[in-house]
Amino acid sequence: MEDASARVGGRVRETPIAVLEEGAFGLDAPLILKLDLLQHSGSFKARGAFNRILSSSVPPAGVVAASGGNHGAAVAYAARSLGHRAEVFVPEVSSPFKVDLIRRYGAEVTVGGAFYADAYAASAERAAQTG
């Protein structure tokens, strides 16, 4: 975990924590919220995307991923930030908002089938073809 933290340091935001006191929502203990919606790409997945790309040898064809939304946005953001091309395979059932976000972060979006399993299989095939 320390290696991953060192790799992504300076590339992701340190998001705040909010503590709701005991009794909030009827709970018997404080509720601690990590506000990762403020992270690049809008979720905690940016940390994992940066870590994976930085700990891998990226082929000239770029990064390939499958996602229905947040992971794809994080991969697209991280790849663009690191100067890599990204192609994200999405299922037909993906949110149009998420697909647009992935495109706005610079990734090529390919519809890989009706469901996530189809998109994943298509992404694995592309990765095998491109290295």
Average per-residue pLDDT in the chain?
94
Query: What domains lie within the chain, and their CATH numbers?
Result: 2-130 (3.40.50.1100)
48 pLDDT higher than 80: yes
How distant is the alpha carbon of residue 46 from its chain centre?
A: 5
4 pLDDT higher than 80: no
114 three-class SS:
coil
Q: What is the pLDDT of residue 40?
A: 93
What DSSP letter does each residue of 73-113 carry, written as one string? HHHHHHHHHTT--EEEEE-TTS-HHHHHHHHHTT-EEEE--
The mean per-residue pLDDT over the stretch 110-122 comes to 96
What's this model's pTM, rounded to 2 decimal places? 0.89
The mean per-residue pLDDT over the stretch 41-64 comes to 95
Percent of the chain with pLDDT over 90: 85
Q: What is the pLDDT of residue 1?
A: 80
Q: What is the pLDDT of residue 5?
A: 85
8 pLDDT higher than 90: no
Percent of the chain with pLDDT over 70: 100
64 three-class SS:
strand
